Structure 1
Amino acid sequence: MDNFLSLLSFGPDGWGDQLAAGTWMTIRLAVATVPFGLVLGFFIALAKVSERRWLRFIGETYTTVFRGLPELLTLFIIYYGGQVLLQRVVSLVAPNAQVEVNSFVAGMFALGMVFAAYASEAFVGAIRAIGKGQFEAGDALGMRRATTWFVVVLPQLIRLSLPALGNLWLVLLKDTSLVSVIALNDLLRMTNIAVGATKQPFFFYLVALLIYLALSIISSIGLSKLETRFGRGYGAAR
């Protein structure tokens, strides 16, 4: 038992520093991905409920593609394909320049694009649940459409879509482990390095499992509090 605890110690004799750094990288990646995914997903949702057919086509095509592709394949396309594309663009200006895509940025974009595809469905359901009467009431009061969106619709949209978005956050936390294949030092990659060095796969993978579980439990508590906060007064009003 003491031997296992020493493996988790901080300093040159243990792997605590590496696992902590990997956990912090996982959290940073997930937190950085969410705003990008939410904004993109919101605009995709607007396209899908638009009265313009070509916008609906773009929105539906996006969600069909990114919900249908495996997340790992999307990550490879963004990381390697983006690097090839950037290299060709830069070569037009500086033929001898070498471009290397940052693993963190590539992971954020890849996971964010998948997150957006699913988030758009949550937003679409919320928008349809609100109904057109809210916009008509805003028009009757002389409010601009943008003001109606931000003052009347958006608070309701957050409340209605929050449970689904919370589930997507929990899925995203687990999907961050995929970035280990593009050499980003997240929790899973640092765990794999520790396993290779110590030959203790069961112990370190169990530790990683407990860390992911702890992150999920903390997130669930936080999401529950958010749902309570945004739903405050709604039950009483009904």
Structure 2
Amino acid sequence: MALIEMLGFGPEGWGGVLLLAALMTVALTLAALAVGAVFGALIAAAKLSRFRTLRVLGDAYTTVFRGVPELLVIYLFYFGGSTLVTTIGQWFGADGFVGVPPFVIGALAVGMISGAYQAEVYRSAVLAVSRGELEAARSIGMPTMTMARRILIPQVLRFALPGIGNVWQLSLKDSALISVTGLAELLRASQVAAGSTHQYFTFFVVGGALYLLMTSISNRVFNHAEARVGRSFKRNFARN
């Protein structure tokens, strides 16, 4: 009975705190995935460029953010970002230390790590598009933007979707590392609840169960999206 009260949503329960923390984790992962999509698309374009300098820069980005431990990247962003903002603030007359919101730091840090993986996903998806379709579009004089909108982007999204699902799962787990900045995401809330009640095993098991629940739901969403996109392409192919 005491366990139910402790995990419930009453005045003495931690259920509401853990639920809000789980929602914060999802929000942080969504923001990070969006940031990563921007950086990933730019880096993929650089790696596919005919200019050697851009290809080298793209390779350097993916090597650094895939090779350096995620926790170290978060620390560098947290302390380096706060130092930078403090310096800029002092230029405009601000006094003392100026901190950067942990959510912003988390979204940027995890997002740029995600971007390194998304870049490879997008690059592989572009290379998987049939060159014959693109050459046929050029041969009939189709404008570049129209060709990208009607041929390239839809197929890239189709081929990239499974990889993006894997990157989502990776970012969801990496979001737990943001607890070191004090953001009240799921791992941080589990730590606080465990420390307050001294029920460490219970709350870490509950936290792990919530992570498994989120990943299971995510798998179902991405599997449904892949099946839906696959059916859509089959219908379009049949019409043609």
TM (norm. structure 2) is 0.94
Matched residue type, 1:125 = S
| 2:4 equivalent in structure 1 | 5
| Partner in structure 1 of residue 100 of structure 2 | 101
Q: Whole-Å Cα distance in 2 between the matches of residues 219 and 5 of structure 1? A: 27
Distance 2:40 2:182 in 1: 27
Give, in whole Å, the separation in 1 of the partners of 2:111 and 2:176: 14
User: Is 1:135–1:145's contact at 8 Å kept on the other side of the alignment?
Assistant: no
Task: Give 1:16 deviation, angstroms.
Answer: 1.1
- Encode CA deviations 1:172-200: one digit per residue, 9 max, x unaligned: 11111111000000011010001001111
Tell me how large the CA RMSD over aligned residues is: 1.5
Is the CA contact 1:134–1:153 (under 8 Å) kept in the aligned structure 2?
no
Aligned residues: 237
Specify the alignment match of 1:42 in structure 2.
Answer: 41
Residue 146 of structure 2 aligns with an amino acid whose one-letter code is T
Residue 192 of structure 2 corresponds to 193
Distance 2:61 2:130 in 1: 24
- 1:42 Cα deviation from its structure 2 partner: 1.0
Q: CA deviation at 1:235?
A: 5.2
> Contact 1:19–1:187 (CA<8 Å) still a contact in 2?
yes
Quote the Cα distance in structure 1 between the aligned partners of 2:44 and 2:156.
12
Deviation per CA, 1:140-192: give whole Å up to 9, x if none. 22222222112210110011111111011111111111110000000110100
Q: Deviations over 1:118-156 (max 9, x none)?
A: 011111111111143333222222222222112210110
Q: Say whether the 8 Å CA contact 1:50–1:56 is kept in structure 2.
A: yes
Which stretch has the larger CA shift, 22-31 or 127-136? 127-136
Any stretches of 5+ residues in structure 2 without a counterpart? none
The Cα of 1:66 is off from its aligned counterpart by 0.4
Per-residue deviation, residues 59-84 of structure 1 (Å, max 9, x unmatched): 11100100001111111111110111
Q: Counterpart of 2:231 in 1: which secondary structure? A: coil
* Counterpart residue type for residue 3 of structure 1: A
What does 1:81-230 align with in structure 2 at a 5 Å threshold?
Answer: 81-96=80-95, 98-230=97-229
Moved more, 12-21 or 102-111: 12-21
Give the conservation status (yes or no) of the 8 Å contact 1:26–1:176: yes
Q: Is the 8 A contact 1:25 1:185 kept in 2?
A: yes
Alignment partners' CA distance in 2, 1:177 and 1:187: 7
CA offsets, 1:4-62, max 9 Å, x none?
11111113211112111111110110111111111210111011001111111111110
CA–CA separation in structure 1 for the residues paired with 2:173 and 2:111: 13
Query: Shift in Å at residue 101 of structure 1?
Result: 0.4
Residue matched to 1:52: 51
Moved over 6 A (4+): none
Which residue number corresponds to residue 22 of structure 1? 21
Give 1:87 deviation, angstroms: 1.6
Task: Give the unaligned 5+ runs of structure 1.
Answer: none
Q: % of aligned pairs identical?
A: 38
- AA in 2 matched with 1:113: M
- Of 208-217 and 139-148, more deviation after overlay is shown by 139-148
Between the aligned partners of 2:198 and 2:233, the Cα distance in structure 1 is 54
Alpha-carbon shift at residue 231 of structure 1 (Å): 1.2
Closer, same or farther in 2 for the Cα pair 1:132/1:50, shift >3 Å? farther
Q: Is the 8 A contact 1:7 1:13 kept in 2?
A: yes
State the shift of 1:95 in Å. Answer: 4.9
State the one-letter code of the partner of 1:172. S
Paired amino acid for 2:204: Y
